[in-house]
Amino acid sequence: MKKILIKIYFYLGLAGFDAIRFFSFLRGIGFFLSDHKKLKKQLKGNKEFPFGRLYPVLFDKYDKSGIMNGHYFHTDLLISSKIFKNNPNKHIDIGSRIDGFVAQVASYREIEIFDIRPIESVVKNIKFKQADLTQLPENMIACCDSISSLHAIEHFGLGRYGDTIDVDGHLKAISNIYSILKPGGKFYFATPIGKQRIEFNAHRVFSVQYLLNVFKNKFIINEFSYVDDKGDLFENIPLNNKDVEVNFNCTYGCGIFEMTKI
């Protein structure tokens, strides 16, 4: 019964209905009405701060102050700090989170970003180009000494973002990233890890061994870290055969690689 309820909740969420948020909304109505009554009484007709339109915010009272775990939080922070330390001449990003990693890097240096979707905003230190990275323009070959793609390659070729369906989309993207990067340049890569599968049309999940095979003869792995299923970071972990075989006990974790192009 529990598994059935979890599945129902999952698919309702995909349809845009969040049951937990809905019940939190109902829970919050009571405190909203009570607090409104108290404040109105305290004002006692004071016109210095008249009431405007009602603007109920019913979730924050029971929420945490913030989130400091999970794939994106740890990956963005870890890789942005590495780029700061390594200080490359030119850094390019492929499809990473704009309001996380890209913003962090742009706070201290220029970054050039590529995404298949358009961006209309213009922001200092961020140069945007709309492009499909399964198709590589010749003028991009060996054009940078540092490149990142965080939680993006797993989507290539699944159509989620309007891209063409391509079973080898992820392999084409990695191959093109290899071509974009100069020899000796750094590649920062993050992607879901676990039992290998496609969860259509959201993403692929890669086994660690599969990724090692893809990177073989292309990159030297300088450092491997991962985020486990609980959202905790394990930094600079040896890639021993026993842990690789079981994907570091992850069902849906995040593998984080720092690599150098051979």
- How does the average pLDDT of the chain come out, rounded? 93
Tell me the per-residue pLDDT of 44-97, one tens digit each, with 9 for 90 and over.
878 898 888 999 888 887 777 778 899 999 999 999 999 999 999 999 999 999
Instruction: Quote the strand ranges of 36-97, DSSP E.
Output: 91-94
- pLDDT value at position 59? 82
Please name the helix (run of DSSP H) or strand (run of DSSP E) that holds residue 157, with its range, or none: none
Burial 127-150 (b: 16+ CB within 10 A, else e): ebeeebbbebeeebeebbbbbbbb
pLDDT at 85: 97
Token pair for 116: 């298949």
Residue 142's alpha-carbon distances to 15, 189, 224, in angstroms, are: 43, 18, 24
What pLDDT is attached to residue 234?
A: 98
- pLDDT single digits (tens) 143-155: 999 999 999 999 9
Distances, alpha carbon 245 to alpha carbons 140, 171, 225, 251, 255, in Å: 36, 21, 16, 13, 14
Mean pLDDT of the region 86-115: 97
Residue 13 confidence (pLDDT): 67
All structural domains of the chain = 2-62 (no CATH), 71-261 (3.40.50.150)
pTM recorded for the entire structure: 0.88
202-219 average pLDDT score: 97
Per the CB < 8 A criterion, the answer to whether 111 and 102 are in contact is yes
Q: Does position 2 have pLDDT exceeding 70, yes or no?
A: no
Contact at 8 Å (CB) between 75 and 190? yes
User: Given a cut of 90, is residue 3 above it in pLDDT?
Assistant: no
The alpha carbon of 84 is separated from its chain's Cα centroid by a whole number of angstroms, namely: 19
pLDDT of 176 reads 96
Q: Maximum distance among all alpha carbons in the chain?
A: 76
Residue 204, SS3 per DSSP: strand
**5 pLDDT above the threshold of 80:** no
* pLDDT for 251: 98
- The tokens 């913030």 sit on which residue? 66
The mean per-residue pLDDT over the stretch 238-246 comes to 98
Higher per-residue pLDDT: 113 or 58: 113
pLDDT, average across residues 24-46: 88
